[in-house]
A and B are shown apart, each in its own frame.
Chain A
Amino acid sequence: MSRRRRLPVSLALIAPLGLFLLIFFAAPLYTMMSAAVSDPIASRALPGVGSALASWDGSAAPGPDAQAVFARDIRSIEDDQLFGDLVRRLNSAKPGFRTLMSKTRTALREDLKANDLVAIDERWSDPAYWQAVKTATASTFTDRNLLAAVDLERSPAGDIQAMPAGISANRTTLARTFVVSLLVTIACLLIGFPYAMIAASVEGWKRQLLLGAVLLPLWTSLLVRTAAWFILLQDNGLINSALMALGLSSGPVPLIFNRTGVVIAMTHVLLPFMVLPIFSVLIGIPKNLMPAAASLGAAPIRAFWKVLLPLSMRGVVSGSLLVFMSALGYYITPALIGGAQDQMISSVIAYYATGAANWAMAGALGIVLLAATIILYTLYLRLASDQQVQP
């Protein structure tokens, strides 16, 4: 069949999977992202207030016209659920709205002609409350959650500023995720590079054995491997028993529910992703280069630095990117082996989504993690395609 006649057929063949992934892969990611940036509650509950406050300068409480619009909108909220959502939304921007709003609503419902809000509650003369109402009703989108994901917030005047210390620990979690991923990548590199070199330098059954030792864990269930490390690392586990039997330690060394355990177990899980790319680059390097360097007078270490390392750099970088990228999004191993102080960004996202039902924050942190992963993956792809062009 000619390429031209094949095209409709090919399109029809990829269409089912394309549609499936559009609906169940792209759309969920979009839903997650829009949950992070959409903020429709205040605009829906108070439809007239947004335009009424648009020209307000923010120096003092707004004039009687704008206050009348606000009073009218509050009176016409029939749905208690919507009112509750509105109060929660405003209270999260400025504490105090909870009492203020219920008092105001009761008063406005009792006296249908009252439009002077300051007479109902003194707090309505404070522009800060009006500023919160204005911000909430101005747009159905918000950057609040995205800023909160990196511990930032907007001041009443609208400038971006750091959150007061102690309110949110997202930056700490992000930094910890980065540090743990980096430690795991370095550990994988320190074990994986020499291992790949040895595997590439031998042949026959020895190479099969070395590669098999990498592939068997790769094929084994992640949960099985994590359970295995749980058994080995516990206080009365095999490693501690061995250390104490050898007299290297008098009591159990704390290996589980801390950073050490997480790094050890994650290194084990991700090591194959470092060994395999490096190995595949190393076997492509001509065998006679190192003897050539030696015959020209280079000491083994110098030959390694000047010849082997630069040539294998591509595998090293691919492997490191792959390991680092996978480590960033890791959930199961830190959740089971780590303590409360070792939880990474995935655990915080899972907490917001399944524990706190705060999908806006889960989505915002999800965007941060997704962006980091996509950037690293793009780098990896670019590297991989370079490899094909220049073998």
Chain B
Amino acid sequence: MNVLGFSKVVFGLAAMLFLLAPLAAILPLAFTDSVFLNYPIASYSTRWFNELVTADVWRRSIINSLIIGFGTTVLATVLGTLAALGLRRQEASWLFAFARTAFLLPMVVPAVVLGVGLQLMFARYNLANSYLGVIIAHTVIAVPFVVINVSAVLQAIEPRLEQAAASLGAAPPTVLARVTLPLAAPGIISGAVFAFATSLDEVVLTLFVAGPNQRTLARQMFSSIRENISPSIAAAALIFILGTIAAATVLNVLRRYRKPARAVS
């Protein structure tokens, strides 16, 4: 192996270590028996998982995350899917081009800036410290992911399938329900998964608009790292990473389903 090839291997491995080592380092600590979040691990136990499900703050925060994540997923998926259907085949119109750009802007605007504005506005309309308020705030930043995912899958649908259905006498709502939406389902589901993941991981907006009763898991992790770091963080992180792997698996399976669906057509 020449010098260039050797340095390529070394650099690639070093960079991969930098990328992956932090994730690998945090996981074993979820099973430590000690109260310190540190190595070496003297003995193993599942006490920190017990803590997560029995300690009131952690249990409530997990339940809150599920409620808010579910609400966000439903709201973002409905709004985003409708919008993606509306944006479809309207590329020529400046109005729709503008809408497409505007719908993606929430991904760009710094969360702190949006947080200040939402806090001011929610205080005025009595939405501060409410579940609905947090769900709305999370939906604002989750909805671009649904628009992107559903638009991508709609673009891949063969237009002749819908034309064929229409020429056989199906009314436009029937075409939508029986042809378009079933074909778009993988994109809609991956959009929903992204929306749920976004809500689950959101901290900054939650800090601004949620009250103590809407403390989510991510918010609880944030204050726990800040105030009293304990291995329960690592246990929560393990749950997060397992959730990530599950979501990635779902998305991969969907991606595989998408191809045969087109091959049959």
Contacts and interface: CB of A to CB of B under 8 A. Distances in A.
A40 interface: no
A229 B24 CA distance: 11
A12 B247 CA distance: 32
B90 A6 contact: yes
Nearest to B118: A28
Contact of B103 (A21, A194, A300, A377): A21
A268 B18 contact: yes
A29 B109 contact: yes
A329 B244 contact: no
B38 A14 contact: no
Nearest to A18: B99
Interface in B59-105: 78-80, 82-83, 85-90, 92-93, 96, 99, 101-103, 105
A16 B116 CA distance: 24
A35 B121 CA distance: 11
Contacts of A220: 23, 240-241, 244
Contacts of A25: 105-106, 109, 114, 140
Contacts of B37: 231
A350 B79 contact: no
Grouping DSSP codes into helix (H, G, I), strand (E, B) and loop, the A interface class, with mixed when no group exceeds half, is helix
Interface stretch (B8-16, B47-55, B182-190, B253-261): B8-16
Interface string B151-170: 00000000000000010000
B151 to A, nearest CB: 12
A311 to B, nearest CB: 20
Interface stretch (A47-55, A235-243, A276-284): A235-243
Nearest to A366: B113
A268 B115 contact: no
A10 B26 contact: no
Contact of B38 (A32, A191, A237): A237
Contact of B16 (A213, A227, A336, A381): A213
Interface in B225-265: 225-226, 229, 233-234, 237, 240-241, 244, 247-248
Contacts of A325: 108
Contacts of A238: 25, 39
A148 interface: no
Contacts of A102: none
B219 to A, nearest CB: 9
A369 B112 contact: yes
Contacts of B78: 16
A60 interface: no
A336 B207 contact: no
A317 interface: no
Given A223-B218, A228-B22, A234-B38, A31 B201 contact: no
B20 A216 contact: yes
Contacts of A219: 197, 244, 247-248
Nearest to A376: B108
Nearest first, the 7 closest Cβ-Cβ pairs linking A and B are A329-B110, A13-B86, A28-B117, A14-B86, A228-B22, A32-B117, A17-B83
Interface of B: 4, 8, 11-12, 15-16, 18-23, 25-26, 29, 37-39, 78-80, 82-83, 85-90, 92-93, 96, 99, 101-103, 105-106, 108-121, 136-137, 139-140, 143, 147, 166, 172, 197, 200-201, 203-204, 207-208, 218, 221-222, 225-226, 229, 233-234, 237, 240-241, 244, 247-248
5 contacts: A14-B99, A25-B109, A32-B113, A35-B120, A238-B25
Given A7-B90, A350-B207, 20 more contacts: A3-B92, A6-B90, A10-B86, A11-B86, A24-B136, A24-B137, A24-B140, A25-B140, A27-B121, A223-B203, A230-B229, A231-B37, A232-B22, A237-B38, A329-B112, A332-B222, A336-B226, A366-B113, A369-B112, A373-B109
